[in-house]
């Protein structure tokens, strides 16, 4: 769902560095003292500062690679600083996330085979029902298609054993205008969670169109597809999104452009917000959180790294007592904001709802 990317590194903020042993140092003025060196096995005379027992160091996952450059997200125990945009694999425009299954996901749930088998059968039944109903409902128009899709999305969550809790009003404004719905993206659960509240046209990566069955259903329901590699098509995607918003459509987008685990989060791409500005419609921040039955946040539903969709769905089917809470925030009217400011405001609102 990439529409725009975060800018590359700013030399004024992230100056280039030189390896410590080869850097040229200016001569030290007479009378000046050299700054203290950190402890280093190569310098035995340097004394290490004793650890403070009252402040234990935060654990760092051994599998998390440390990348050079400035962080793109706040420091986190399991996620060392990632590379700036210009040094990421694929360049600054590519969708990127530091989350991997080894760092972000809980241990596999201990469960018997009966629960996942029953839930798999229920999900397949919902999928078959969708294949039969959606084409007919689409021919009958939005008044029929909307309630059908809402019921199907709720059925998906129920079949997967996820209890849905919704707080706040509907997605669409009371005056019937189109609205850009934005949320963080952690899991495949996010899409049925939004669809269970009301009709929403999702903005999805082009690859979804090629997924078996799901891609055909997404295309039939009006999903807007974006080519994350074809930047020359970006203005056309923004224009198509703005046109849908002007026509009163509720458009849903995950501005992080890819899935993060939720423990850390990505910057919001700005192009979707340009579509809202062009259409003159508000933004609706929505917070989607998956928790255990006792209310503890969990990354069990996260869809990260090199996992397949089947891996992510299967892990959820083995879990018990998952709750998906959706908090619908107040509308953000664009006002005098540019797309950057609007993206920042929306991200703050989404994350404040957690």
Count the neighbouring beta carbons within 10 Å of the beta carbon of residue 13. Answer: 8
Q: Find all residues with CB under 8 Å of 136, minimum gap 6, and list them.
A: none
Q: Where along the chain do its domains lie? A: 67-96, 114-352
Convert the pLDDT of each residue in 212-262 to its tens digit.
888 899 998 888 888 766 667 788 889 999 999 999 999 999 887 655 545
Cα distance between residue 146 and residue 322, in whole Å: 26
Residue 182 buriedness (CB in 10 A; 0-12 / 13-18 / 19+) = buried
Q: Report d(CA 292, CA 182) in Å as an integer.
A: 24
The DSSP secondary structure of 180-208, one letter per residue, reads: EEE----BTTHHHHHHTTS--EEEEEGGG
CB 350 within 8 A of CB 285: yes
Contact 304, 262 (CB under 8 A): no
Cα 257 to Cα 267: distance, rounded to the nearest angstrom: 9
* CATH architecture assigned to 114-352: 3-Layer(aba) Sandwich (3.40)
With contact defined as beta carbons under 8 Å apart, do 92 and 6 qualify? yes
Distant-in-sequence, close-in-space partners of 257: CB < 8 Å, separation ≥ 6:
1, 2, 3, 5, 95, 185, 228, 266, 269
Tokens at residue 281, please?
């419609």
Token digits for 323? 């709750």
Whole-Å CA distances, 298 to 16, 104, 198, 289, 291: 38, 10, 25, 9, 5
The total of other beta-carbon atoms located within 10 Å of residue 317's CB is 21
Task: Check residue 294 and give its pLDDT.
Answer: 83
What count of other Cβ atoms lies within 10 Å of the Cβ of residue 3?
Answer: 22
- How many angstroms separate the CA atoms of 122 and 155, rounded? 9
**pLDDT under 50 in the chain at which residues?**
1-94, 96, 102, 261
pLDDT at 129 (0 to 100)? 97
Model confidence, pTM: 0.68
Strands 250-253 and 201-205: parallel
């Amino acid at each position: 769902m990439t529409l725009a990317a975060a800018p590359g590194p700013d030399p004024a903020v992230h100056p280039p560095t030189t390896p410590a042993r080869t850097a040229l140092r200016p001569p030290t003025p007479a009378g000046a003292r050299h700054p203290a060196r950190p402890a280093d096995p190569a310098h035995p005379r340097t004394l290490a500062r004793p650890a403070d027992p009252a402040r234990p160091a935060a654990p760092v996952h051994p599998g998390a690679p440390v990348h050079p450059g400035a962080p793109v997200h706040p420091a986190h125990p399991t996620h060392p600083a990632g590379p700036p945009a210009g040094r990421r694999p694929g360049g600054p425009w590519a969708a990127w996330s530091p989350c991997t299954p080894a760092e972000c996901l809980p241990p596999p749930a201990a469960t018997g085979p009966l629960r996942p088998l029953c839930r798999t059968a229920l999900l397949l039944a919902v999928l078959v029902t969708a294949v039969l109903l959606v084409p007919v409902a689409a021919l009958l128009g939005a008044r029929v298609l909307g309630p059908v899709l809402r019921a199907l999305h709720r059925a998906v969550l129920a079949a997967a054993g996820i209890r849905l809790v919704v707080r706040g009003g509907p997605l669409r404004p009371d005056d019937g205008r189109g609205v850009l719905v934005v949320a963080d993206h952690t899991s495949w659960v996010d899409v049925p969670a939004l669809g269970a509240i009301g009709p929403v046209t999702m903005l999805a990566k082009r690859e979804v169109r090629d997924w078996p069955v799901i891609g055909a259903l997404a295309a039939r329901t009006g999903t807007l597809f974006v080519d994350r590699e074809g930047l020359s098509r970006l203005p056309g995607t923004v224009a198509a999104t703005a046109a849908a918003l002007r026509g009163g459509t509720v458009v849903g987008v995950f501005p992080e452009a890819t899935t993060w685990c939720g423990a850390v989060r990505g910057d919001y791409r700005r192009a979707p917000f340009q579509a809202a500005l062009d259409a003159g419609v508000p933004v609706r921040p929505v917070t989607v959180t998956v928790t255990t039955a006792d209310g503890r946040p969990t990354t069990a539903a996260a869809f990260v790294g090199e996992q397949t969709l089947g891996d992510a769905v299967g892990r959820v089917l083995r879990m018990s007592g998952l709750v998906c809470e959706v908090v619908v925030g107040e509308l953000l009217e664009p006002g005098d904001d540019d797309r950057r400011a609007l993206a920042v405001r929306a991200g703050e609102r989404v994350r404040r709802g957690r």
